[in-house]
Structure 1
């Protein structure tokens, strides 16, 4: 099986007519993802290499049965498009857009959770989701990966690729790879995705790639100890990051002793999660567990 995207995915894309949106949408289709439509109010009735463009999400869902959304529109409009997709009944909304104001993210998260609990938000500022051999929604370079039994969830897109590639080079594949993004208000947390992997029969081991800032990894450690039976391996980026300095992602900032890589490693290891100091070491730990 897979989590969130798979053989039953019907993908529609907001921003399909833009340069980045069209490029990645066509790459997703080339991989085998079922792309059923796109949204641009100013270009309704047109098509992008045979993919029809509609005026709004409600029309798109009614005409195509789209159950998955990819948001590629500019930051000022991305949250509104995601909310419109949720209101139209889309089950999974994946927001690739970077730079959405944190206030918009918070409002979107709370409104979807309150009004559209059947919709799963992933992102913003994320690389998307890949279920090898089934569907690719986003910007993950699918050629790195093959189908297998390791589930990966990560705040960082690049680290997602690196850890997955390390595993692939050693002969292990992935059930699904989920990039949750590095913004302060993610639509889905580590806990949300780890719960899906725990319930997924294809996934036998979970790799969680975190980074400095926030408390998501510590919360995941508590959840894993209480609810997860499968082995989990962790990696935390930012052991050398100075306190008080934002590093890369908007959510990657350490304040005092809170949110440091060392504190996150300690919290995870206290709950039985082995943590690698580098992506290579993390992959080696995963391979050791799988081999056993």
Structure 2
């Protein structure tokens, strides 16, 4: 099983002909992702050769959907054009839009996330690494060679920590790994992923990675208490972050006691989530929980 993305998913890449779009389209194809086309109005009608596979370029998302049946898009366009790109994808009936672009103005994100929700389009991101179902498909920039298919579900604010936990737990493997992004406003939340993993019969344990700032992890803890019966292991980045300073992601800012790593850890532990002090300790906790379930 998989969450949100399977080997059957047909993927368009908005911004495929740009440098980042080209690089990561090649990587997605190498990983087995069914990339069926790119979108660039100025290069419509051309094809791009990726290691002996020719991928067509369409003038619009709607054209790509009509021609290929695409149901997923990965957005690699510059920040100024991200809102238009997501709105176009939602209007075309795309089910899942993965927005890799960082630096998008918050008011643009709020607008396109609201629009996409009304249209029934799930957005992952913005400012995220995307998601991957190992051995089946990847949409975004998560390396395909650091983990195999398995029984752990992972949801993370941090791209780098997504990669690290995937690598540390590579011998166990993952059902799906979702990097939701660390901006103040994101389309898919920890709670959305927890619900999906709870319903996935092949996910035995969930790893939840959070970071300082906001209250997403506290809200996730409340959801776990009321709705999640599978074991959850967590890690919170930012225990040593100075108060009142933005750290990395736009959403990672602490004000007083609100949003601190310690407060988030306490909220998760109060509902039975084991929280590691380091990524490596977190991986050890995961292994121990799985051994106890065996």
Same fold (TM over 0.5): yes
Q: Return the match for 2:104 from 93, 100, 104.
A: 100
SS in 2 for 1:249: coil
Query: Corresponding residue for 2:179?
Result: 179
Within-5 A mapping of 1:142-161: 142-161=144-163
Cα offset for 1:164? 1.2
Within-5 A mapping of 1:43-82: 43-49=43-49, 50-82=54-86
Provide structure 1 residue ranges, at least 5 long, that are not aligned to the other structure: none
Cα offset for 1:82? 1.1
SS in 1 for 2:169: helix
Q: Give the Cα separation in 2 of the matches to 1:33 and 1:234.
A: 29
Cα offset for 1:175? 0.5
Contact 2:157 2:211 in 1 (8 A): yes
Query: Corresponding residue for 1:219?
Result: 219
Q: Give the Cα separation in 2 of the matches to 1:286 and 1:95.
A: 29
**Runs in 1 of length 4+ with deviation above 3 angstroms?**
none
Within-5 A mapping of 1:120-199: 120-168=122-170, 171-199=171-199
Within-5 A mapping of 1:6-21: 6-21=6-21
Q: Give the Cα separation in 1 of the matches to 2:90 and 2:271.
A: 36
Cα offset for 1:30? 1.1
Contact 2:86 2:116 in 1 (8 A): no
Q: Give the Cα separation in 1 of the matches to 2:198 and 2:137.
A: 20
Q: Give the Cα separation in 2 of the matches to 1:22 and 1:51.
A: 11
Cα offset for 1:99? 0.5
Provide structure 2 residue ranges, at least 5 long, that are not aligned to the other structure: none
Q: Give the Cα separation in 2 of the matches to 1:52 and 1:194.
A: 36
Query: Corresponding residue for 1:200?
Result: 200
Q: Give the Cα separation in 2 of the matches to 1:248 and 1:255.
A: 15
Cα offset for 1:16? 0.3
Cα offset for 1:86? 1.1
Q: Give the Cα separation in 1 of the matches to 2:268 and 2:106.
A: 27
Q: Give the Cα separation in 2 of the matches to 1:112 and 1:147.
A: 30
Contact 1:16 1:48 in 2 (8 A): no
Cα offset for 1:100? 0.4
Residues 1:32 and 2:36 are matched in the alignment: no
Query: Corresponding residue for 1:243?
Result: 243
Cα offset for 1:87? 1.2
SS in 2 for 1:209: strand
Q: Please report the RMSD computed on the Cα atoms of aligned residues, expressed in angstroms.
A: 0.7
Q: Give the Cα separation in 1 of the matches to 2:183 and 2:42.
A: 30
SS in 2 for 1:144: coil
SS in 2 for 1:281: helix
Cα offset for 1:7? 1.3
Cα offset for 1:202? 1.2
Cα offset for 1:108? 1.1
TM-score by length of 1: 0.97
Query: Corresponding residue for 2:115?
Result: 111
TM-score by length of 2: 0.97
SS in 2 for 1:36: strand
